[in-house]
Amino acid sequence: MVFMMNNFRKISKLLILMPLIFLACSGQIDNQGQPAKLIEPFLEVKVHGDSGNNPKVALPFVVWDSYEYKDIIVHSYLGGKEKGCVVIENEGRPIQIDTEIKFLEDAPCIFSRLTTSDGLPHIYNAGLMKILIVETGQEVYTWSKAVQLNK
């Protein structure tokens, strides 16, 4: 009788642990990201006047391993600061437009400050996205304007 009770306890523990293990493993499979493709990143710059006549600025087509999330001056005329993603162009590396990627998540910023290769800071109304480069398995950040989600 004692032998049966010990086996029953072992089997009960196993039956409780199996679904937990299954859920943990299935969560890893779901975290592979959403298929996406890269596009040339452009940003429309708002100027005074009619809409539709605003010039487009090409953003550097690069990826970064990380970014800083800190206060940046967004509204210089008001002295207003907002949280933003801060990246340095020279710390990024180029990426090819035909690189197979998957979207992982949005960075928590809608403004970014880019210090260009000439050392000048530029504030953009553009966020960053975390993507997975399928071939290498690297998780990197690029402009949200450079990622188009596949439907």
Beta strands 112-115 and 80-88, pairing class: parallel
Whether residue 117 is predicted with pLDDT greater than 60 in this model: the reply is yes
| pLDDT tens digits along 43-92 | 987 776 666 677 888 999 999 999 999 999 887 676 788 999 999 999 99
Whether residue 23 is predicted with pLDDT greater than 50 in this model: the reply is no
Whether residue 113 is predicted with pLDDT greater than 50 in this model: the reply is yes
Neighbouring-strand partners of residue 143: 128
Tell me if 42 sits within 8 A of 57, measured CB to CB.
yes
pLDDT of residue 22: 41
